[in-house]
Structure 1
């Protein structure tokens, strides 16, 4: 009985009742980002959509990303959106430019269908001008078959009517 009492009294000591300091500091390995920021969009939503070779058809996986993008863009209306289409596919420069434009248009149309205001969006097709990676392997090249949704504070020279 004496031992149990000593154990119980030890539980009430001041050192055992102390609580750790609470902090709002960013945990190691994480980015402290402001809600509605470009960083939040890039890290939590995703700005890239990938396509099959020679195609501008949006896959089911890409559609899930577009839904997240549309939801975020509807909640964060301050942002304008430049939609950049890219290609890696064999063929002429003109064909790749056309394909990259079709990919950008497909994403733009999907975002509009999900309720994003069309007046905030514009596309630019780059063809094979801006590869993420330069390689010969088909699995490596797949990274270049993409659309990148970039947030902007104002329209740039590639926007229609600018």
Structure 2
């Protein structure tokens, strides 16, 4: 009994210790997030746009993300943008490469329509080369049907005419 009482009193005193509130703590790696930084873009704007199976049509939900991206890119003109298309749809590898390119082009055209300078943007379709997930479940596979808007400080080899 004495031992149990000692353990319980120890628990009571431990519960009196302050527990740090980490709910709204900055994510690891993003400690020094500055306005106009890549971290700000990723966390506050979002860099992924998702598509329906077999489609390169931008949904209403995706359009809201593109509006946020365009507003941020117009305010932060130092960034170049590589728009990477991906697919995980039925069909051949060639068909998925074509679809991923169409998805990337659709996002590029939407950003330009919202006022982002086309000279800062380029696309690359990866098809099924870079899946986020590898699974058969439809909700899982749908994560691979995406475009990722990546910020760059300079053009890479995939940028046309560079």
- TM-score above 0.5, yes or no: yes
Where does the alignment leave 5 or more consecutive residues of structure 1 unmatched? none
Shift of 1:32: 3.6
C-alpha contact (below 8 Å) 2:30/2:39 kept by paired residues = no
In structure 2, distance between residues paired with 1:127 and 1:94: 8
In structure 2, distance between residues paired with 1:100 and 1:129: 10
Could you report, residue by residue, the CA deviation over 1:89-144 in whole angstroms, capped at 9, with x for unpaired residues? Answer: 01001100000000000000000000000000000000000000000111100000
Structure 1 residues 76, 90: closer, same or farther in 2, change over 3 A?
A: same
TM-score (normalizing by structure 1): 0.82
| Matched residues, number | 162
Shift of 1:77: 0.1
Structure 1 residues 28, 97: closer, same or farther in 2, change over 3 A?
A: closer
TM-score (normalizing by structure 2): 0.82
Secondary structure (helix, strand or coil) at the match of 2:110 reads helix
Secondary structure (helix, strand or coil) at the match of 1:122 reads strand
Where does the alignment leave 5 or more consecutive residues of structure 2 unmatched? none
- The farther-off stretch of 76-85 and 11-20 is 11-20
Shift of 1:4: 46
Shift of 1:18: 21
Shift of 1:16: 23
RMSD: 7.3
Structure 1 residues 78, 10: closer, same or farther in 2, change over 3 A?
A: same
Residue 66 of structure 1 corresponds to 66
